[in-house]
């Protein structure tokens, strides 16, 4: 079997089975980040790799590359409810690259890290035929506050922050070289994503959130990840899923399917979470106070899988989104 047949998720499962779990590991392979018990706290660690031809669309500036490298790692900490401690990066670069490009890339990293109250503290440089950045972020969380994918319970509310689809619509604009007039906010969402670190900390401290994940592979794929890890059934209402208003306009204008952006597009870096029903209004208000909207899109039930209600019918939601090796 080739990697193109297996896909990224199958490889993660293979790794999960092969690698032994250490005695102090609270959360291991398969979540947004790993968590290791240290003196009543958890050290939360994550890593992400960015390869130029896969992750950087045309017109991405070196500063935006640097910022993205920081955000993709901090978003994983946000999904776990961790407070960032620092980041390290291993960067491989072509020898013919201009020094000023590298300076701007590092500036982007530094600026983004400091915006989130943390720092780039080290790393490694190497030579490569293609720009490749491997980042790692470290954070701290109290054991009892740590968020994970596996805690959703029957009766919980399923919610998501923000509005979805902007980043994938922005990517479509760039790749197909469509007119940008009126849609620059979508392009910005793709090139300059935001990690919801503050929101993740609020959710963790609330004591009301039972499971969480950041929306990177697409809402549908991330719903399935929550359902599998929690071993529950999720039922969502398609009419309640918050789409970015410009994405609606863009889809209508060019004849695209809105679901391809909102459900299957990915890279929104919003937080998808489940919450105890009696605490939902309190959580919603808590996020609103820091300027973040959260929308109830469904509920957790007994059973397995992810289902969507649309036009009076309930059907299984395709487990589809971005996946390495399969495209």
Q: What is the pLDDT of residues 278-289, one digit of tens each?
A: 999 999 999 999
CATH 3.30.1330.10 location in the chain: 3-144
Paired tokens of 121 = 């503290």
The alpha-carbon radius of gyration of the chain (Å, integer) is 19
Question: For position 22, what pLDDT does the model report?
Answer: 81
Question: For position 321, what pLDDT does the model report?
Answer: 74
Q: What integer best gives the mean pLDDT of the chain?
A: 94
Q: How many CA atoms lie within 13 A of 266 on its CB side?
A: 14
Question: For position 15, what pLDDT does the model report?
Answer: 85
CATH number of 148-316: 3.90.650.10
Give residue-wise pLDDT tens across range 7-25.
Answer: 777 887 888 888 888 888 8
Decide: helix, strand or coil at residue 211: strand
Check: CB of residue 141 under 8 Å from CB of residue 81. yes
Question: For position 307, what pLDDT does the model report?
Answer: 98
With vertex at residue 209, the alpha carbon angle to CA 86 and CA 80, rounded to the nearest 5 degrees, is 20
In which band, very low, low, confident or very high, does the pLDDT at 325 lie, cut at 50, 70 and 90?
low
In whole angstroms, give the CA distance from residue 36 to residue 143: 10
In which band, very low, low, confident or very high, does the pLDDT at 324 lie, cut at 50, 70 and 90?
low
Q: What does DSSP assign to residue 76?
A: H
Give residue-wise pLDDT tens across range 28-61.
Answer: 888 889 999 998 899 999 999 999 887 888 889 9
In whole angstroms, give the CA distance from residue 113 to residue 49: 17
Question: For position 290, what pLDDT does the model report?
Answer: 97
In which band, very low, low, confident or very high, does the pLDDT at 322 lie, cut at 50, 70 and 90?
low
Give 183's contacts (C-beta < 8 A, 6+ positions apart).
169, 170, 173, 246, 250
Question: For position 121, what pLDDT does the model report?
Answer: 97
Instruction: Please state which CATH class domain 3-144 belongs to.
Output: alpha beta
CATH 3.90.650.10 location in the chain: 148-316
With 0-12 / 13-18 / 19 or more C-beta atoms within 10 angstroms meaning exposed / middle / buried, residue 315 is exposed
pLDDT score of 100 more than 90: yes
Please give the residue that has the higher pLDDT: either 54 or 206.
206
Mean pLDDT of 199-224: 97
Mean pLDDT of 102-127: 97
Question: For position 262, what pLDDT does the model report?
Answer: 97
> What is the percentage of the chain residues whose pLDDT exceeds 70?
98
pLDDT score of 327 more than 80: no
Give 207's contacts (C-beta < 8 A, 6+ positions apart).
144, 145, 279
Give residue-wise pLDDT tens across range 263-312.
Answer: 999 999 999 999 999 999 999 999 999 999 999 999 999 999 999 999 88
Give residue-wise pLDDT tens across range 150-184.
Answer: 999 999 999 999 999 999 999 999 999 999 999 99
């Amino acid at each position: 079997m080739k990697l193109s047949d297996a896909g990224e998720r199958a490889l993660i499962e293979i790794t999960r089975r092969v690698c032994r779990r250490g005695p102090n590991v609270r959360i291991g392979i398969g979540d947004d980040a790993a968590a290791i018990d240290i003196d009543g706290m958890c050290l939360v660690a994550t890593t992400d790799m960015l390869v130029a031809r896969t992750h950087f669309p045309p017109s991405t500036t070196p500063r935006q590359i640097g910022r993205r490298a920081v955000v993709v790692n901090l978003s994983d900490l946000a999904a776990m409810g961790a407070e960032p401690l620092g980041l390290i990066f291993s960067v491989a670069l072509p020898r013919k690259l201009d020094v000023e490009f590298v300076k701007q890339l590092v500036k982007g990293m530094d600026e983004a890290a400091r915006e989130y109250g943390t720092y780039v503290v080290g790393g490694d440089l190497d030579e490569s035929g293609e720009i490749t950045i491997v980042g790692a972020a470290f954070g701290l969380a109290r054991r009892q506050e740590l968020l994970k994918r596996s805690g959703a319970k029957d009766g919980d509310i399923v919610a998501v922050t923000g509005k979805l689809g902007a980043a994938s619509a922005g990517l479509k604009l760039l790749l197909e070289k469509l007119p940008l007039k009126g849609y620059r906010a979508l392009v910005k969402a793709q090139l300059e994503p935001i990690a919801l670190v503050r929101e993740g900390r609020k959710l963790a401290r609330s004591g009301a959130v039972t499971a969480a994940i950041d929306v990177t592979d697409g809402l549908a794929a991330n719903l399935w990840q929550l359902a599998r890890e929690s071993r529950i059934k999720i039922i969502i209402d398609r009419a309640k899923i918050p789409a970015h208003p410009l994405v609606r306009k863009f889809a209508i204008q060019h004849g695209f399917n809105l679901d391809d952006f909102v459900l299957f597009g990915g890279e929104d870096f919003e937080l998808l979470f489940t919450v105890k029903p009696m605490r939902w209004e309190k959580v919603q208000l808590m996020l609103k106070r820091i300027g973040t909207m959260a929308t109830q899109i469904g509920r957790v039930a007994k059973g397995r899988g992810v289902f969507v209600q649309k036009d009076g019918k309930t059907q299984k939601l395709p487990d589809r989104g971005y996946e390495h090796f399969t495209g």
